[in-house]
Structure 1
Amino acid sequence: MSVARPAAVAVQFLTRFPTGVAAVTGEDLGRSIPFFPLAGALLGAALAGAAAAISGRIAPALGAALLLALHAFLTGGLHLDGLADLFDGLSGGAGDRARTLAIMRDSRIGAHGAAALVVALLLKAAALVTLLERRELFALLAFPAVARFSVVPLVVWLPYARPEGMGKPFHGGGRGWHVPFAAVLAAAAAAGMRAHAIVPVLAALLAAGAAARAMHRRLGGLTGDVYGACIELAEVGFLVAAAAG
């Protein structure tokens, strides 16, 4: 089977980069899972390129804000909604599975979800300021790829909590070999950081894993919103660890 279509589907679903893929099916989505880090690497390359272009020309704080805006544009803010839904569900579900799922499906954002978005964006911005000051462009290349890898084992290994939903085709198409394949792609994206990648990668995986574990215990599985939230939390974990190193 050609890898071109599933790779293009992953890029098309996770970013706004044009791929020209039409009539995407649920089977296509399942086959795209191992290429999540590839989509992340393309996003990271765009961010690193933008950082290189503005480095030394504008203040790091302004540069960090512009990079966050570019990141949101290139992803369509896809995972930010999931982050808000996760925290609204955890806080408002009162331990009840059905109530938690209902809250997460609600399109409105509650106080806890809004607070989570603000904190996550502030942490990203603060970390990006430090990385721009140190001109650590390889970290900017790596963090989206590693974050999107972090969700691959969760999609493949953990059950899905709803009978349907945006994330269901991904879980249904998950295969064991997707995890090591995606890991190789993520490792390639982080190779430029060499040994400095170890702690940020671990922080990203721990952040995503902790969120997944909490929701698995609450719901008996994960949802598409949880997948998105795990990617956002993994990005925060990677960037903060990279900036603190």
Structure 2
Amino acid sequence: MVKKLCGDFITGFQFLTRIYVSKHADWSPEAFGRSVKFFPLVGGIIGILLAGLAYGVQQYKFEVFPMHLLAASLIIIEIVITGGLHCDGFMDTIDGVFSGRSRERMLEIMKDSRIGAFGAIGFSLLILLKYSLILDIPIGKLPAALFVMPVIGRMASVVAITKFPYARANGLGKTFFQYSDKTTIYIAGIFTLALLIPLGNTALIAGIVAISWAALVARYISNKLGGMTGDVYGAIIEVTEVAVLMAFVF
């Protein structure tokens, strides 16, 4: 049982990041579905890496380390850790949802590997917003914000996977939807609370605000597309991370 749970965690970890752990990861559809409940824990590991960098700069080199360079470095490092997976999903989603076409055509546009004007503009604005928010967060709160950000981002994807229908007949994202069981969101929620409670009320409030925002975005996109897709799951992570940073600013 423990071995199976560890295997499911590794499957989720190696899908959501580019950090190599084991060549024996289970890539079956069932393993993908079972791994969903561990997504917030994967976010926690990403958060530790980002928060550790900010904390190190804060403690040792803040006076000589430019804040603008730190903000840019944090964004780049997160993209490197995830392999840009969620960024790609965000751009594809923006291209499709804001194309003004029919539902079927939106889904076709999202499958196209090429990035359109809407996707490029949307991603540029997303990075600009993240960069600005990181600069605006008080340096003392920045490590906590950077830890909470990927945790809540992945929890938001769990909500999208388990609470909304899937729009396509097939696809990698459907394995997450199809093979997640009824307990997935509750287990993921327990993991999320366990990670956030030690950080106090600010982290919990930021989490609630960001998850609420993610649910609204997921509902809007689901109404447009008739459900979720793998690209939308990535987009949900990105917009939720921005919402977390914004909550820490305000």
State the TM-score, normalizing by the size of structure 1: 0.94
Contact 1:60 1:132 in 2 (8 A): no
Q: Pairwise mapping of residues 33-182 of structure 1 onto structure 2 (< 5 A)?
A: 33-55=36-58, 56=62, 57-94=64-101, 96-131=102-137, 133-182=139-188
For 1:88 and 1:206, locate their aligned partners in 2 and report how far apart those are by CA, in whole Å: 24
User: 141-150 or 208-217: which moved more?
Assistant: 208-217
Task: Work out whether 1:234 is the aligned partner of 2:240.
Answer: yes
1:27 to 22, 27, 30: 30
Contact 2:7 2:25 in 1 (8 A): no
State how many pairs are aligned.
Answer: 243
Contact 1:83 1:229 in 2 (8 A): yes
Q: Which runs of 5+ in 1 are unaligned?
A: none
User: 83-92 or 15-24: which moved more?
Assistant: 15-24
Match of 2:13 in 1: 11
CA positional deviation for 1:108: 1.4
For 1:240 and 1:40, locate their aligned partners in 2 and report how far apart those are by CA, in whole Å: 18
CA positional deviation for 1:243: 1.9
CA positional deviation for 1:177: 0.8
Q: Tell me, what secondary structure is at the counterpart of 1:151?
A: helix
Deviations 1:152-198 (A, max 9, x none): 12211211111111201100111121111101111222224311123
Deviations 1:82-130 (A, max 9, x none): 1111111112142x11101011111111121111111111111112123
Contact 2:159 2:215 in 1 (8 A): no
Amino acid at match of 2:98: S
CA positional deviation for 1:211: 2.1
For 1:59 and 1:135, locate their aligned partners in 2 and report how far apart those are by CA, in whole Å: 17
Q: Which runs of 5+ in 2 are unaligned?
A: none
CA positional deviation for 1:46: 0.4
Q: Tell me, what secondary structure is at the counterpart of 2:137?
A: helix
For 1:141 and 1:23, locate their aligned partners in 2 and report how far apart those are by CA, in whole Å: 28
Amino acid at match of 1:89: G
The alpha-carbon distance between structure 1 residues 61 and 132, as it changes in their structure 2 partners (threshold 3 A), is farther
Contact 2:7 2:26 in 1 (8 A): no
Contact 2:40 2:192 in 1 (8 A): yes
Q: Tell me, what secondary structure is at the counterpart of 1:167?
A: helix
